[in-house]
Structure 1
């Protein structure tokens, strides 16, 4: 398991890359329109990028 600071670094890096990719998506696919469904887009994109980088989010047993 990653230490908290490392988790924050990983999530922040993926979030910043996702924000940039979403801006490009809004421009190229939506003609510059605001994407009302951005949370779904972000979640899907971030999950894929984390998988591609070898990360997985797992729930710890309680």
Structure 2
């Protein structure tokens, strides 16, 4: 019944600020309509660390707030 609704959660009020998603929380590229290697440059250009979100979900964030 809930297939495809990975954002559904019993955490908080259920509104958008409590949504739990599974994706890299960064801008993919500065030029999303241009096909190039920008995404990989961003991905490999930072050191990432596993952190826990306020909702309790584990996610990767760039070290040193980059």
TM-score, normalised by the number of residues in structure 1: 0.30
Greater Rg by CA:
2
The TM-score normalised by the length of structure 2 is: 0.29
> Which has the larger strand fraction?
2
Which of the two has greater helix per residue? 1
